[in-house]
Each structure stands twice: as structure tokens, then as C-alpha cells.
Amino acid sequence: MWRNWTGDQSCAPARRSNPTTAAEVAAALVDAGSRGETVRVVGAGHSFGDNVVTDGTLMSLDALAGMQVLDAAEGRVRVAAGTRLFDLNRLLDEHGLAMANLGDINVQSAAGAISTGTHGTGAALGNLATFVESAEIVTADGSIRELSGDELRAARISVGALGVITAYTLRTVPAFKLHERRDRMPLTALLRDLDGHVHGNDHFEFFIFPHATEAITKGLNRTDEPAGVRSKARAYVEEVVLENYALDVLSRAGRRFPTQIPRLNRLVTSLASPSDKVNHSYDVFSSPRMVRFTESEWAFPRETAPEALQEIMAMITRRGFDINFPIEVRFVAGDTDSMLSPAYGRDTTYLAVHAYQDMAWREYFSAVQEIALAHGARPHWGKRHSLDADTLSTLYPEWEAFNAVRTDLDPEGRFANAHITRIFGS
């Protein structure tokens, strides 16, 4: 039985496949085709929807990992698709390189993070897929192909619907350090000067708990300051005890006593004291995530985000939802590098909503989805949403172009589980 990180998605595949080379991937696909089985590829299992659930072949690329080619002078690296981000960061750092931006989870596989449109925050930076210069894919008939042009633009963010991507060529930057500053401020003041915060930092994000009036802000900026040396004990207290165990205890209390959630949310906000740290970029970008939750995230046009956030906050209060997890707000540059980029063609604000494990989420996420669609937002491909092809096709200018590539690369729907069928229509 396979389960995702959250533990609320599971399946019993007919067989498992753990290839170590692209040739072994090809052989496994031909074998699955001979039995008429669908194939889904799993990374670290950090998608919250039913993206990889299958009763056919479940393929893991964990054994297809590592750096294959390095061009340090040009800042280009070839990495196997199953490489976990924390390993990629270590390998790059050994050669004086780094990813220009990252999300706050570093346990994902490269393929899983890129193919679902995973992103960090930074007004001038795109999602991880914008760093992909080429990709190797194995198609359903066992062909191994190097993608370029429109095929590459379709494959960068493909939700695993085109084939099995086995390697990426990534554009990197010289290694750098970041100065992180965390603070609290009234949400009204933050939204009043939101552009100043977003464009005044290399990377800016904030969190706001329902029923709280203050937001927790985080600004990251490049620096030449020396990396600060924190003791292991201090790092454990700050990143594990305060950010995880304390949140888990308060979340459990809210689940047990839901009428106390507003008070608990204000309490956990008050515990977030201002702090500074300087470290290597990949250490600052990532944070340990030990508290289990499920999530829905939407890519809003940048200018609509303040209004949408306030609508969501008011809706939670009006409808009496028991929500003891914060709303996370991040900022990404628009791009057209990927046909299915949620940030396609516009500067974007991502609003992410969460529900603590074993707490009700369906009505809450559905209500957020209604607000998102009213503002023309698009869903994060690795998070929960209930949209189908009829609605999704209206949100992406190159929807038909993507489906033309999909028809060409996977004419028999070898990679189409129930999730893929729902979002693409067949």
C-alpha cells in the first residue's frame, strides 16, 4: 500500500517499478503497455491530491538520482529526475552553485517539484520550471527523447501526463547567502504597503492565521555577511520546537476544542517573535515540516490578492469554519516558459490554505475555490482542487496546444489515472 506524505491519499498498485536508468524506465513502460496498465510516477509523495493514485504500475524514480553532467562555467547541470532537492542543493554547493530560488520544502524530487509547478517566493523570479533548459522523457512506447521547443514548454509542468521525465538540464547561479528577517505587523498596514514589501525584498512572504489581526512576515535578501553559526540546540529550538512542536500542540488543542481556535490562533501569532539569521541560500529557503496537514493553493493575478485574502478571512469567520492553520502568501513572476504554468502571462500571488490533519477541509477548500475562480486564479497542480477540464481549459491560453502535445506523446493514455482524466477530460 502506498500513501502520500499527509497520509490521506493511498493506493494498492498492481506492481511497483524502481528503475535505475532511462533504459529500465523504457522497459517498464513497454511491459506495462503489454498488460494494458496505466503508469503513474511518484516522487516524495508531497502532492496533496490524487495525482499518482493508481491500480496499475506505480513507478518510483528514487534510484534514478544524482548529478549526471556539470558545466560550472556556464552554470548548467544535468540531474536525474529522482534527485531529492536536499541532495541537489548539496551537490550544487560543492561546486559553488545554487538554485536561484526554492520553495520551503526540500525533500521533494526534482521531477515532482518541477512537474507540479512548485515555486518559492520572489517578485522577479519564476517557479522552479523556469530554470529548466531541456529535459529527457521516456514515452509510453519506450522511446527516449530529448525535448525542446513546444514539447519542452508542455513538459516543464505536465503533472506526469506526457511520459516519464528522467533527467533535466537546469540553469543555476553562483552560490549565495541570504539574510532572513522575520517580524510581525498588523495585516492592514502590511496590505497598505504590500508592493513596497514585495519589491523591496529579493524574496518576501507572509502568513496570517484566521481570526488574527497581525501577519507574520519573512523577508530574504542576498548578502555578503558571513553565515551566522547557530548551535544545534538553538536551531532545534527555533525550527523544530517552536515552528513544529508548538504549532502541533496548539493545532491538536484546536481540534479538541474548536471554539477556542480564534484564541489559539492569536496566541500562536504572538509567539512569533522578530528574528534574524544569515546562512547559505538553500538552508534559509527550506524549513522542516513535521506537522501534517492538507493544502489547497491558488495563483491569483498579483493585483487581486489583497482583496481576495480579505474575502477568504471574512468567509472563514462568516461560515464558522474551524481553521487553525495559517494562510500563506507568496509572490512569483509571470512566465510563458510552461504552457500550464499557474503564473502564465502575469505576475502572480499565491494564496495557500491548509487544514490540520484529521480536521474537516472539503467545505473550506470549496469556498476558497469559489473565491479563487471569481478572481481568475489558477490551481497549484500539486495541491487540492476539484476543477475539471471544462473549467481549466478557460484558464490557460495554451490549453489546446498542451493537449496536442499530450495526444502526440501519449496517444493511448498510458499515464491517465482518474486525476489526469478529470483535469484533461480524457
pLDDT tens figures, 407-424: 999 999 999 999 999 999
The pLDDT of residue 379: 98
The pLDDT of residue 245: 80
What are the C-alpha distances in Å from 345 to residues 256, 300, 309, 339, 376? 44, 12, 22, 10, 13
Q: How far apart are CA 389 and CA 386, in angstroms?
A: 10
The total of other beta-carbon atoms located within 10 Å of residue 196's CB is: 11
The pLDDT of residue 288: 82
Domains of the chain: 2-59 (3.30.43), 64-174 (3.30.465.10), 180-379 (3.40.462.10)
Asked if 290 contacts 4 with a C-beta cutoff of 8 angstroms, the reply is no
The pLDDT of residue 426: 85
The pLDDT of residue 312: 98
The pLDDT of residue 87: 98
Q: How far apart are CA 338 and CA 336, in angstroms?
A: 5
Q: Which ranges in 16-168 belong to alpha helices (H)? A: 22-35, 85-94, 110-115, 149-155
The total of other beta-carbon atoms located within 10 Å of residue 12's CB is: 10
192: Cβ contacts below 8 Å, ≥ 6 apart: none
- Report the Cα 308 to chain-centroid distance in Å: 20
The pLDDT of residue 287: 87
The C-alpha cell that represents 237 in the structure block: 529550538
CA dihedral 71→169→285→279, nearest 10 degrees, is -10
pLDDT digit of tens for each residue in the chain (426 aa)? Answer: 999 999 999 999 999 999 999 999 999 999 999 999 999 999 999 999 999 999 999 999 999 999 999 999 999 999 999 999 999 999 999 999 999 999 999 999 999 999 999 999 999 999 999 999 999 999 999 999 999 999 999 999 999 999 999 999 999 999 999 999 999 999 999 999 999 999 999 999 999 999 999 999 999 999 999 997 654 555 555 666 567 788 888 899 999 999 999 999 999 999 888 999 999 999 999 988 889 999 999 999 999 999 999 999 999 999 999 999 999 999 999 999 999 999 999 999 999 999 999 999 999 999 999 999 999 999 999 999 999 999 999 999 999 999 999 999 999 999 999 999 999 998
The pLDDT of residue 199: 98
Main-chain phi, psi angles of 112, to 5 degrees: -65, -45
